[in-house]
C-alpha cells in the first residue's frame, strides 16, 4: 500500500537559516510527488511537484526538492528561511495508475525564530 512518512512533526529554525523537511514514501514504482504548504485555517498551496526527469525540482517561494529513488525520499529544501515561511508542510504522493487521489504525510510544522 502507498504511504508517506514525514519523520519530523515539528521543526524550528532561525530566520535566514537553511531548511530541510524530510519525506519518505512507500510505493512499488515512481509515484507522482508533491509538496504543499498550509497556513493556519487555510487550504493547501502547491509548492512543487515531481513526475519524471530531473530529480531536482524547483518550486515557488524559493523552495526546491530532490527525488532520490534509492532512498524513496523527496526532501524539501530552502537555502534561507523567511518568517513568512512558518506554516504546515505536507508531502503527498499520487499513483500514476489510479484516479489521481493523493495520500498525504502527517505534516511538518515549521516555526521560524526571529
Partner 1 sequence: GAVVSQHPSRVICKSGTSVKIECRSLDFQATTMFWYRQFPKQSLMLMATSNEGSKATYEQGVEKDKFLINHASLTLSTLTVTSAHPEDSSFYICSASAGTGNRKDGYTFGSGTRLTVV
Contacts (CB under 8 A) with partner 1, residues 81-100:
90, 94, 96, 99-100
* Comparison of 43 and 114: residue with beta carbon closer to partner 1: 43
* Comparison of 13 and 91: residue with beta carbon closer to partner 1: 91
Instruction: Note whether 104 binds partner 1 by CB under 8 A.
Output: yes
Instruction: Note whether 107 binds partner 1 by CB under 8 A.
Output: yes
Nearest CA-CA partner of 21 in 9, 33, 4: 9
- In angstroms, the CA 61 to CA 48 distance is 10
Per-residue contact string for residues 33-72; x = within reach of partner 1 by CB under 8 A: -x-x----xxxxxx--x-x---------------------
**How far, in Å, are 19, 53, 86, 114 from residue 90 at the CA level?**
15, 22, 13, 23
Nearest CA-CA partner of 89 in 103, 107, 76, 77: 107
**How far, in Å, are 5, 47, 73, 90, 97 from residue 57 at the CA level?**
20, 10, 13, 16, 22
* Comparison of 70 and 97: residue with beta carbon closer to partner 1: 97
Residues that bind partner 1 (CB under 8 A): 32, 34, 36, 41-46, 49, 51, 90, 94, 96, 99-107
Amino acid at each position: 500500500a502507498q504511504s508517506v512518512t514525514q519523520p519530523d512533526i515539528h521543526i524550528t529554525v532561525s530566520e535566514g537559516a537553511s531548511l530541510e523537511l524530510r519525506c519518505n514514501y512507500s510505493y512499488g514504482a515512481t509515484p507522482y510527488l508533491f509538496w504543499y504548504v498550509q497556513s493556519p485555517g487555510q487550504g493547501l498551496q502547491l509548492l512543487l511537484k515531481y513526475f519524471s526527469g530531473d530529480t531536482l525540482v524547483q518550486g515557488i517561494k524559493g523552495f526546491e526538492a530532490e527525488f532520490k529513488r534509492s532512498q524513496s525520499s523527496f526532501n524539501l529544501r530552502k537555502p534561507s528561511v523567511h518568517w513568512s515561511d512558518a506554516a504546515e508542510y505536507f508531502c503527498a504522493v499520487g499513483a500514476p495508475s489510479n484516479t489521481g487521489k493523493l495520500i498525504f504525510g502527517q505534516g511538518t510544522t515549521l516555526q521560524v525564530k526571529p
